[in-house]
Amino acid sequence: MSLVSLAIRAQRALEKTSVFEGIAPLLLRLYLAPIMIQAGWTKLGSFENTVDWFASTEYGLGLPAPALLASLAIAAELLGGVFILIGLATRWASIPLMFTMLVAAFSVHWPNGWSAIADASSWLSDGTIMLNENVMSAPDKLAAAKSLLQEHGNYNWLTSSGKFVVLNNGIEFAMTYFFMLLSLFFTGGGKFTSVDHFLRKKFMFD
134 and 83: one domain?
no
pLDDT at 203: 83
- Residue 154: inside a domain, yes or no? yes
Are both 106 and 119 inside the same structural domain? Answer: no
Do both 60 and 97 map to the same domain?
yes
Which backbone phi and psi does 174 adopt, to 5 degrees?
-60, -40
Output the pLDDT for position 39. 97
The one-letter amino acid at 115: S
Is residue 34, in this structure, part of any structural domain at all?
A: yes
- The answer to whether residue 11 sits within a structural domain is no
The verdict on residue 191 lying in a domain is yes
196 close to 89: Cβ distance less than 8 angstroms: yes
Check residue 181 and give its pLDDT. Answer: 98
Report how far residue 117's alpha carbon sits from residue 144's, in angstroms, rounded to the nearest whole number.
18
Number of domains in the chain: 2
User: Tens digit of pLDDT per residue, the chain (206 long)?
Assistant: 688 888 888 888 888 888 899 999 999 999 999 999 999 999 999 999 999 999 998 888 898 999 999 999 999 999 999 999 999 999 999 999 999 999 999 999 998 888 898 888 887 775 555 667 888 888 899 999 999 989 988 989 989 998 888 888 999 999 999 999 999 999 999 999 999 999 988 887 55
Residue 92: give the domain boundaries: 21-110+171-205
Residue 82 and residue 158 in one domain:
no
CB contact set of 162 (below 8 Å; sequence gap of 6+): none
First to last CA, the chain: 41
Q: Are residues 104 and 38 in the same domain?
A: yes
* Residues in CB range of 95: below 8 A, 6 or more apart: 185
Task: Let me know: does 173 contact 38? Beta carbons within 8 Å.
Answer: no
